[in-house]
Amino acid sequence: MKHYILALDQGTTSSRAILFDHDGHVAHCVAQEFPQHFPQPGWVEHDADDIWSSQLAVAQAVLRDAHVRPEQVRAIGIANQRETTVLWERATGRPVAPAIVWQDRRTADHCDALRAAGHADFIRERTGLELDAYFSATKLAWLLDHVPGARERAERGELCFGTVDSWLAYRLCGAHVTDVSNASRTMLFNIHLMRWDADLLALFRIPDALLPDVVSSSGEIGATHADLFGAPIPVAGIAGDQQAATFGQACHRAGMVKNTYGTGCFMLMHAGAQPAVSHQRLLSTVGWRVHTGECYLLEGSVFMGGATVQWLRDGLGIIKASSDVEPLAASVPDSGGVMLVPAFVGLGAPHWDPYARGTIVGLTRGSTAAHIARAAVEAIAYQSAELLGAMQRDAAQPVVEVRADGGAARNDLLMQFQADLLGVPVLRPRVTETTALGAAYLAGLAVRFWASEEEIAAQWQCERRFEPAMPEGRRAELLARWSRAVERAKSWEAPL
């Protein structure tokens, strides 16, 4: 009887379930989009029940469609959109409010007040994070202050807080847990002591009764309720999506770098067994904890990657499907001088400007939809080039290659332009579902489906290598032009 690992890849715009065999190959995949809610400018919400129902539906469908029985699934691994904040009733499992998504900027003023009070350095020292509305702490504080009765109920232990991994684990098997990688994204977790930080909880007025137990990224936390799949299946791996992708890309040694091109773009470098200190406003975050110990990563975050292409589709209507963007962008030799800065929800690293807004500059009477599409694709690469530049300045050694994954990594035009801007090769693996694959590997290690990280690394294969071909002078010219465009987008919605 053939056995598999089931990976649940719960993303910002869709839920996916993927079965992996022992060779790390995709046996079957099912995906389902779910609704996005934008109740006010800068607000982004999900219905937590939509997250759960869509994730359960695809998990059940992938087993059904692949004719795989639950006893053939050795374990389940979870990878999840990070920082998104869910608050639910402990007794019933019902959410008490919409989930506040990582992109949401409603708490920017709270962050401003904390910064003005001098707390930014303290927060960075304890958590490795920049003081920003991106992370969970101010989102949770907002819910406690704005949902009627929430703070009192939280203090009585009636409510649970969690990021999406916690929410799924609770619904799957009743465990209120999070792993070290997700905990490190809440701005409440001390990455040096590897535990919730009492001083941070006091600063953000978070009752500790709300918090999940922190567990390793690889290890059994429980078994699914029997009625979900027809028999219990162990849940044995959890990691935030970007940490999972880094693990799935076999970036297991210090200095290795991957970049994920998903809803956002996330570049991570393996920093070794100790937290890295960034002087470029990058994040120091926990990568994962396995039986051999934990590792740390250096991370740069871009808020709008593939979501920029979705905006072309849903907002402007100039493409019918996201896959249409590559032929449209390739129909012109360049962007015609158009620059699109997709700061729709502010700018992430290295700028950290919650008040920046989307900007298009360089338009002329000759500008067409194709030029805008080209500028949108190139914007993804420009933002990632900024991250690698910051990472190179922080790192002790030069980056020699970048491993790419995520949906937009299938765009050859983007990958070549990215290599040109970075000045280093971009490698696309045969299996681009590396977020799900990383979750599968973490779960599989826990149940000995795979014996070691070395066995996992041996499975990584390059499908295509994109070599930089742009002259250095042209690269410098384009990056300077991009910087000018970014300056025009910054602080647009800043309080006067």
* 288: nearest Cα among 131, 445, 175: 445
- Give the span between the Cα atoms of 84 and 339, in whole angstroms: 30
Coil, helix or strand for 53? Answer: helix
Q: Residue 310, annotated ligand binder?
A: yes
Q: Judging by beta carbons within 10 Å of its beta carbon (0-12, 13-18, 19+), is residue 227 exposed, middle or buried? A: exposed
- Give the span between the Cα atoms of 264 and 13, in whole angstroms: 11
List beta partners, residue 293: 290
Q: Residue 158, annotated ligand binder?
A: no
Instruction: List, in order, residues 6 or more apart from 460 with CB less than 8 Å away.
Output: 249, 250, 429
Q: Residue 77, annotated ligand binder?
A: no
Q: What is the CA radius of gyration of the chain?
A: 21
Q: Judging by beta carbons within 10 Å of its beta carbon (0-12, 13-18, 19+), is residue 212 exposed, middle or buried? A: buried
Q: Residue 134, annotated ligand binder?
A: yes
Q: Residue 83, annotated ligand binder?
A: yes
Q: Residue 263, annotated ligand binder?
A: yes
Q: Residue 13, annotated ligand binder?
A: yes
**Using the 8-state DSSP alphabet, how is residue 3 labeled?**
-
- Give the span between the Cα atoms of 144 and 151, in whole angstroms: 5
Q: Residue 411, annotated ligand binder?
A: yes
Q: Residue 459, annotated ligand binder?
A: no
List beta partners, residue 190: 195
- Single-letter code of the amino acid located at 219: G
Q: Which two tokens stand for residue 112?
A: 């401003």
Q: Which two tokens stand for residue 279?
A: 């002087």
Pair 128, 277: CB distance under 8 Å: no
Q: Residue 178, annotated ligand binder?
A: no
- Give the span between the Cα atoms of 88 and 407, in whole angstroms: 31
Pair 135, 185: CB distance under 8 Å: yes
- Give the span between the Cα atoms of 111 and 116, in whole angstroms: 9
Q: Residue 12, annotated ligand binder?
A: yes
Q: What's the distance, Cα to Cα, between the start and end of the chain in Å?
A: 66
Alpha helices in 106-135 (DSSP H): 108-116, 120-127
Pair 18, 77: CB distance under 8 Å: no
Q: Residue 358, annotated ligand binder?
A: no
Annotated binding site for ADP: 12, 16, 263, 306, 407, 411
Annotated binding site for glycerol: 82-83, 134, 241-242
Annotated binding site: 12-14, 16, 82-83, 134, 241-242, 263, 306, 310, 407, 411
